[in-house]
Amino acid sequence: MANSNDYKEIGLNSDQNKNITESSPSSDFDRLEDCNEAEFKGATLSLSPQETSPPELVTASSCEDPNASNGAEGTSGDKRRSSSIRALHSSNVQEFFAVREGALQKAAEQCRPVILENIDGDLRGIWLLTEIDHWDTEKERLLFLTQNSLISLKFDFITLRLLEYQRYALKDFQKIVIGELKYPEKSLMPARNQLGIQCSWSILDQIPASKRWNPWSRDIPWVTYTSHPLFKMDTDEKTNYNIEDFYKTLLNILFPPGGTPVGTESSSCQIVYQPIVIECYAGLAAALHNANELGFFKSRGKVSF
């Protein structure tokens, strides 16, 4: 584990941290039980409110914000959307432990040692987003995007402890889909009305039914993210909850303007702008889980989890 002298001041999600080089492999799933015991007094992480400049690959017509009103949409579609808009009311903003002053900075500082410079390269940005698994359950995840890797971390904002994390090598990504999150036509689930990104690898491999229909399976060759609920709130850290800022930075890393793509594999990575279909038809368990935001660390009356 690196010492505190190695951690120089960095500006998270700022323009100077979004230049790219090559890639490294690695994908693991480990626990850092000792990570919370370390103190890094020399580290100062600042969260910048500046927006990321969109890469040349992204255009306004390529991927529109699904939250915007669309006059051309049918009446039935409008009714379905209006009933499912996930607005964050000011009354429950303070229920999220991540909203506490300095919470995101402290989480970033404490989890910083998971970044291995020889594998991951330099840190390019930090976000707090919502991960959607293959069973449509939402989970709060802290994301480290580095020169070569995407690291997804489950951080307990109540006890300020890193619980688990997973590393994805950017060079392994074969397809990236950016678009509105949707359910199949015959699904009974209400429309999400959210923008998302899905990164997949091993796209030619068939997923066994034992994995696809297992809610606890972690061996799924894709990962899906959308904005954190706190993105609705007007704060200086708003960009750190924004899925658009995340995917624009990711595309800049994979395809740097005037530069060399990350690794030979990623140079052939497909970038597709289309709806992301979540295969959930009548997921009662997922609906209850998401409606109560059980995947987020919140204050829930006399208890917090």
263: left (phi over 0), alpha (psi -120 to 50) or beta: left
Cβ atoms of 170 and 252 within 8 Å: the answer is no
Alpha helix stretches (DSSP H) within the chain: 75-82, 103-111, 117-120, 209-212, 243-254, 263-266, 284-291
Number of Cα atoms under 13 Å in the Cβ half of residue 59: 4
Residue 291 CA to residue 167 CA, distance in Å, equals: 28
Residue 174 CA to residue 254 CA, distance in Å, equals: 11
pTM reported for the whole predicted model: 0.70
Sequence letter at residue 74: G
- CA-to-CA dists, residue 85 to 81, 82, 88, 191, 291, angstroms: 6, 6, 10, 8, 12
Residue 267 CA to residue 66 CA, distance in Å, equals: 29
Instruction: Report the pLDDT value the prediction gives residue 47, as an integer from 0 to 100.
Output: 52
Cβ atoms of 115 and 146 within 8 Å: the answer is yes
β-partners of residue 141 are 129
Sequence letter at residue 208: P
Residue 296 CA to residue 229 CA, distance in Å, equals: 10
Across the chain, which has 305 residues, the per-10-residue mean pLDDT values are: 41 45 40 41 44 38 40 40 41 83 94 97 97 94 98 96 97 96 89 94 78 79 96 84 97 84 66 93 86 90 55
Instruction: Report the pLDDT value the prediction gives residue 204, as an integer from 0 to 100.
Output: 66
Question: What are the residues whose beta carbons fall under 8 Å from the beta carbon of 29, sequence distance 6 or more?
Answer: 164, 165, 166, 218
β-partners of residue 271 are 176
Residue with tokens 């090559």: 22
- CA-to-CA dists, residue 158 to 30, 44, 88, 261, angstroms: 21, 21, 20, 39
Strands (E), the chain: 10-12, 29-30, 45-47, 123-132, 138-146, 149-156, 161-169, 175-182, 195-200, 222-226, 270-273, 276-277, 299-300, 303-304
Enter the tokens of residue 45: 């992480």
Instruction: Report the pLDDT value the prediction gives residue 215, as an integer from 0 to 100.
Output: 74
Instruction: Report the pLDDT value the prediction gives residue 213, as an integer from 0 to 100.
Output: 75
Cβ atoms of 158 and 98 within 8 Å: the answer is no
What b/e string do you get for 32-68 counting C-beta neighbours within 10 Å, with b at 16 or more?
beebbeeebeebebebbeeebebbeebeeeebeebee
